[in-house]
Amino acid sequence: MSSRSTSTTTDQITEFVTSQFLPDVDASELAADYDLVDNGVIDSLGLIRVISWVSETFELPLDDIPIAAENFRSVEAIDRFVTEAKAPVAAL
């Protein structure tokens, strides 16, 4: 079993989504563009869990996170949101 010292944002998000919402799915099988909302994987309470996890994991204040389903619809959307949200911080 190999372990990486760091993982990409996409890997972290995929691992979280599969472990919390799709326990019978291997992380490598989840397509980044799979619509988690339309396919019923994440409901309104799940969205709150994802937002809370994103805030804690990527050190983004909850007040700075726009609560919009389109930001959390897929692994790809969450990754894009995190990248854009962290961009101003990285530029400082």
Q: Which domain holds residue 38?
A: 32-91
Is residue 64 domain-resident?
yes
**Contacts for 49 with CB less than 8 Å, ≥ 6 apart:** 20
- Predicted confidence at residue 68, as pLDDT, reads 85
Is residue 45 domain-resident?
yes
Cα separation, 81 vs 75, in Å, equals 10
Is residue 3 domain-resident?
no
Is residue 7 domain-resident?
no
Is residue 58 domain-resident?
yes
Q: How confident is the model at residue 1 (pLDDT cuts 50, 70, 90)?
A: very low
Of 28-32, 36-40, 54-58, 87-91, minimum mean pLDDT range: 87-91
Is residue 11 domain-resident?
no
What is the percent of the chain with per-residue pLDDT over 90, rounded to a whole number? 71
Is residue 84 domain-resident?
yes
Predicted confidence (pLDDT) at residue 92 exceeds the cutoff of 80: no
The overall pTM is greater than 0.85: no
Is residue 86 domain-resident?
yes
Overall domain count for the chain: 1
